[in-house]
Amino acid sequence: MHDPWIERLSEYLDEGLSRSDREALEQHLLRCRECASTVEELTAVRKRARNLTEARVPAELWSRIESSIAAGRVRSLPSPEAARGQGVRGSGREGTARSFRGGRFSFSLPELVAASLAVAVLSGGGVFAWMRVSGKAPLGSPSVAQAPQSGTAGERPGEAKPLVRQDVAPIATEQARNLAASNATMPGATAPEAVSARRTEATPHEEAIAELRKALAKERDRLDPATVRTLESNLAIIDLAIDQAKRALAADPANTYVKEHLAETMRRKIELLQRATMLASTTGAEGTR
């Protein structure tokens, strides 16, 4: 059984614990070397992430985010009038670039990137430490970026088959179908090849997500196929939501709600990947989960 406190360390560092929980955790830290070590690592990562945000992110990362999203936009966006959101503030690469250079992303995405990097490092340092190396080649399936039924994105040519792709069942619920269907009506709904091409350049948070996916791929055999299907279906749902939010943001770059929503949805994806990875890594001799 994994240490329940390990999942609350981040909350502790965020000062989000109640007083009683904080005191209990501090007592626990005196006894638990692993948790104490993780807290130290987390603190170091946060410090690094903070420095990264202040000193390095604007120059190195925003241009990548910009080009990534702008590339997708150039390929996929219809005219502003055709876009569903009436608040489109312009179209074309220039407008987008100007928006990003103006620092509009600084509202939420820096935090997201810092958090993603922190999570990735944590996952590498914490979760990887627990995991046994299976010896298999990583499957290199960075994302399942569409709901199984949506058919909006294809697999990348020449790339290894995604994680148990063949086992991914259609999303069963009506709502999931609606979500997939709604994707077609979103601004910038694209042909599969366009979506695929747009994703060839990964943003930092996508790289972090890819790292978690690699970790999960290594341990996937420990999970029950039904669990894998469930996880993949839900990751696909989140990917679809992320895709829609990205397109919405491309259509309306000043929309703070969409920015926050995108960040929130990405956080949720990272959390789900973390959870899946931990689930796989803690599944041992007692059987597959």
Partner 1 sequence: MPAAAFAFALLLASILPPPSARAAKIASLVATYSDDEDHDSEGDEYGNALPQPDTTITVHPGVALEIENFGGQISVKTWDKDAIKIAADHSLRDKVILEKTGSALRLKVKSRRFVPAMVRYRITAPRWMKLELSGVNTDIDVEDSKGEVRAETVQGDITVKGSEGFTSLSSIQGEILAQGVRGRLEASSVNQGVRLVNVVGPIFAESVNGGIVIENAESDSVEASTVNGPVTFEGRVSDTGYYRFATHNGCIDVAMPEQSNATVSVSTFSGSIDSSFPVTLKKIKSRRFMTTLGSGRAKFELESFQGTIFLRRPQESRQSCDSDDGKDKDEKDGKTKAESGDETGDE
Residue type, 206: E
Contacts of 75 (CB under 8 A, 6+ apart): 190, 194, 197, 198
The Cα 148–Cα 150 span in angstroms is 6
Applying CB under 8 A, does 171 fall inside the site for partner 1?
A: yes
The CA dihedral of 92, 94, 98, 104, to the nearest 10 degrees, is: 20
CA-wise closest residue to 80 among 95, 60, 99: 95
**Residues 62-101: x where in contact with partner 1 by CB under 8 A, - otherwise, as a string:** ----------------------xxxx--------------
Output the smallest distance, CB 109 to partner 1, in A.
17
Stretch that binds partner 1, among 138-146, 168-176, 190-198, 210-218 (CB under 8 A): 168-176
C-alpha 92/C-alpha 79 separation (Å) is: 9
- In angstroms, what is the minimal distance from the CB of 148 to partner 1? 12
Nearer residue to partner 1 within complex by CB, 111 or 264: 264
**Phi, psi of 136, rounded to the nearest 5 degrees:** -85, 150
**Can residue 230 be called a binding residue for partner 1 (CB under 8 A)?**
yes
The tokens for 261 are: 């929503």
Closest approach, Cβ 200 to partner 1, in A, equals 25
Contact call for residue 22 and partner 1 (CB under 8 A) = no
Tokens of residue 128, six digits:
């990887």
Is 176 one of the binding residues for partner 1 (CB under 8 A)? yes
The least distance separating partner 1 from the CB of residue 248, rounded to whole angstroms, comes to 5
Residue 200 touches partner 1, criterion: CB under 8 A: no
Q: How far is the CB of 3 from partner 1 (least distance, A)?
A: 10
Which of 265, 274, 277, 281 lies at the binding interface for partner 1 (CB under 8 A)? 265
Q: Hey, what's the torsion of the CAs at 222, 225, 226, 227, to 10 degrees?
A: 30
**Binding track, positions 177-196, relative to partner 1; x by CB under 8 A:** -xx--x---x----------
Least separation in angstroms between residue 46's CB and partner 1 is 22
Choice between 70 and 241, CB closer to partner 1: 241
Identified binder of partner 1 from the candidate list 27, 167, 175, 191, rule CB under 8 A: 175
Chain centroid to Cα 246, Å, comes to 13
Instruction: Tell whether residue 43 is a contact of partner 1 (CB under 8 A).
Output: no
Tell me the two tokens of residue 26: 């501090």
Check binding of 264 to partner 1 (CB under 8 A). Answer: yes
Among 18, 79, 166, 200, binds partner 1 (CB under 8 A): 18
Instruction: Provide DSSP, 83-148.
Output: SS-TT----SHHHHHHHHHTTGGGGTHHHHHHHHHHHHHHIIIIIHHHSPP--PPP-------S-T
DSSP H helices in the chain: 9-13, 19-31, 33-51, 57-60, 62-76, 93-101, 109-122, 128-130, 174-185, 192-198, 204-219, 225-251, 256-282
Interaction site with partner 1 (CB under 8 A): 1, 4, 18, 21, 84-87, 171, 173-176, 178-179, 182, 186, 224, 226-227, 230-231, 233-234, 237-238, 241, 244-245, 248, 252, 254-258, 261, 264-265, 268, 272, 275, 279, 286-289
